[in-house]
Amino acid sequence: MSLLRKITLTIFFNALAFSASAADGLYGFTSANPYTYEEQILDIKVAPKTIVNYREAMRKNIIALAEFAKAENKDFELIAHEGEELLHKSLWEYHLDGYNEARKKGLNADDPVFLAHLKRTTPEKDYSPSSEAYGKSISGLAVNNRFCGKHELNEHIKKHNLKLISIDYCKTEAAFDEAAMNATGLNYLLYAFIKPETAFKKIRKQPIINENAQNIFKVAEAQNISLFIDDSLYKDKERFLQDIRESNYDIVVIDPFFHHTSPYSKEDVESLKFKKNGAKRLIFAKINVSEADPEDYYWQNDWEIEKTPWLARASFTDENAVITQYWDENWRQINGRYFKGIVDSGYDGAFLTGIENHTYFEKQTPLE
């Protein structure tokens, strides 16, 4: 946490002035760099001596961000996209405990077949202190296709008092209407679309589900949401901002800078915090917690996948971005600086993406 506090807002804004990347994709709705054949067959020649608990590392990063934000602004909230698997201790993690314990006892694990012989057991408990802390650090959980895709929620979600948000690709108007009805009945926030090519890009034509004139001070109070995270249809920043001001959404999620080059000022953000009907609303900034972009301000010319240890592989959802070893201190400092800029810029909260990338590293280390 001390590293995060040392970084000033001035550095954040000066650095962002040199950023120029296209809007990145959202997991589950875009596909840029799918798994390679080699990644799918995965041939481990030598079992690794140590294995990072990738879920635990992701939890700790998010908890640290939450603690920092709350210290600066007690009302700051986090919404996690596709972060439901972190709410409990997984079987993979229990197997990792067994693997590490075997290593400590000196059992021979040089043969990768060792990974396949871990005894499959049912844990006595399905949570850990960190998973509990993670659940308390977020106010909302966004999942993909809960209604139009019939996504079954992880049962552990019931143990946490979280506002649930569903992002749905509905292929027909009838499916859209049914999703809206079901979401309303279950008190979900719903962002649904029929045309993928316009998803996340328009706010004026997006129908508001459960429009209201209430003041919204917390995520739990919201009745609707807009993910307005792709500004590629706009040439003018003021026009983009004005379209938000003229809407009545309770929560609006945006990228924290226009065209990835021009950060929104604190005054810009404050001007968005009231709906057209005059009521208070929340403005959230999107931040990817596990991916770096070669066109962003912090990127160094000599960084390359396979040559820079903490750069892992090309992003699954963004053709330009790179999945990082997000537990590495280099990335934690970069992401912490970015996050501090969001907090200091006056946003009500952050919409966290890239959480699901822990599954990539787990698939490369098959303990289940």
Q: Which of 15, 92, 8, 13 shows the shortest CA–CA distance to 58?
A: 92
Other beta carbons within 10 angstroms of residue 25's beta carbon come to 21
Tell me the per-residue pLDDT of 75-114, one tens digit each, with 9 for 90 and over: 999 999 999 999 999 888 988 888 887 777 776 655 555 5
User: Distance between CA 290 and CA 353 in Å, rounded?
Assistant: 8
The pLDDT confidence band at residue 126, using thresholds 50, 70 and 90, is low
CA of 145: how far to CAs of 31, 198, 359, in Å? 16, 17, 19
DSSP calls for 12-27: HHHHHTT---PPPP-B
Domain boundaries, the chain: 2-363
Residue that the structure tokens 């143990």 belong to: 159
Instruction: State the pLDDT at residue 115.
Output: 58
Cα angle 200, 205, 207 (rounded to 5 degrees) comes to 90
Tell me the per-residue pLDDT of 131-187, one tens digit each, with 9 for 90 and over: 999 999 999 999 999 999 988 888 888 888 899 999 999 999 999 999 999 999 999
Q: Is the pLDDT of residue 9 over 90?
A: no
Q: Is the pLDDT of residue 37 over 90?
A: no
Q: Is the pLDDT of residue 116 over 60?
A: no
Helix (H) or strand (E) holding 112: none
Task: Look at phi and psi of residue 239 and say left if phi exceeds 0, alpha if psi is from -120 to 50, else beta.
Answer: alpha
Instruction: State the pLDDT at residue 3.
Output: 41
Average pLDDT along the chain: 87
The answer to whether 315 touches 323, Cβ cutoff 8 Å, is yes
Which of these ranges, 22-26, 34-38, 187-191, 272-276, has the smallest mean pLDDT? 22-26
Other beta carbons within 10 angstroms of residue 197's beta carbon come to 6
Q: Report the relative pairing of strands 291-292 and 140-144 from DSSP bridges.
A: unpaired
